């Protein structure tokens, strides 16, 4: 069975992707910070070989230690889904929280790098592999008060392109999925648990679901080895840009 590693697998897009890839016949390495959530996912996928790793991708030492300690049967990773990330706060740059900035840059950029650095040597040695980085429409179009989050996802976009160049000689495919509005825990985290403000983000239109994004990821990683769907922009039908929505009511 091919092996897929999914970061941020305890909820949202990561969790939905685990379900899709399990159905596609993958063994799974699921990582996240919340063990109880990962164990819930593992129970849901009881018939799928699954290995759980609890660590924070922002912690380089913990990331390296966790991935270096994989059991032999999970060591040869075929697919890496760099999904872990976050958004914190929404305000003008001159009023931004440095703690929020650090959390976004450490999670969205450095976390992706730490995990990739630990996994890619094995892929290049085996001369095969597939990396999918979860970006955002915000990495391609800025919006007011999105400043550092947009910058972090723009970094993911450029890293994806650079990784594709660097890994081309080694037969490793690199792709990026850029969702628009997806209704997950994303907005609740951004607004520090303010559920009313989070719900307002999706008011008046039907957003994407985590399962919508996971279906696309599943399609991408099951293409023949000579095919690489390098970049996907995935929007709800009611969204045309970061700031343009067709809302009803």
Catalytic residues: 149
Q: What is the CA radius of gyration of the chain?
A: 17
Please give the full DSSP string across the chain, using - where no structure is assigned.
--EEEESSTTSHHHHHHHHHHHHTT-EEEEEES-HHHHHHHHHHTTTS-EEEEE--TT-HHHHHHHHHT--GGG-S-SEEEE----------GGG--HHHHHHHIIIIIIHHHHHHHHHHHHHHHHT-EEEEEE--GGGTS--TT-HHHHHHHHHHHHHHHHHHHHHGGGTEEEEEEEE-SB-SSHHHHHTTT-HHHHHHTTTTS--B-HHHHHHHHHHHHTS-TT----EEEE--TTBSSSS-B----
Tokens of 160: 């994806």
């Amino acid at each position: 069975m091919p092996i897929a590693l999914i970061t941020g697998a305890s909820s949202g897009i990561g969790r939905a992707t685990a379900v899709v890839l399990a159905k596609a016949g993958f063994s799974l390495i699921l990582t996240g910070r919340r063990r109880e959530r990962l164990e819930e996912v593992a129970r849901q996928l009881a018939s799928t070989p699954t290995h759980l790793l609890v660590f924070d991708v922002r912690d380089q030492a913990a990331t390296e230690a966790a991935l270096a300690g994989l059991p032999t049967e999970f060591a040869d990773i075929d697919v890496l889904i760099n999904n872990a990330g976050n958004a914190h706060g929404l305000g003008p740059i001159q009023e931004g929280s440095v703690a929020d900035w650090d959390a976004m840059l450490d999670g969205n950029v450095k976390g992706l790098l730490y995990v990739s650095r630990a996994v890619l040597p094995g892929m290049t040695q085996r001369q095969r592999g597939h990396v999918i980085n979860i970006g955002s429409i915000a990495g391609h179009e800025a919006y007011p008060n999105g400043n550092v989050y947009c910058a972090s996802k723009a970094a993911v976009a450029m890293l994806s392109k650079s990784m594709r160049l660097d890994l081309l000689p080694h037969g490793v495919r690199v792709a990026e999925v850029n969702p628009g509005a997806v209704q997950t825990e994303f907005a609740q985290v951004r607004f520090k648990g303010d559920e009313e403000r989070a719900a307002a983000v999706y008011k008046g239109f039907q957003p994407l679901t985590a399962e919508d994004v996971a279906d696309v990821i599943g399609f991408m990683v099951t293409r023949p080895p000579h095919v690489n769907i390098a970049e996907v922009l995935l929007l709800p039908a009611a969204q045309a840009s970061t700031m343009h929505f067709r809302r009803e009511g």
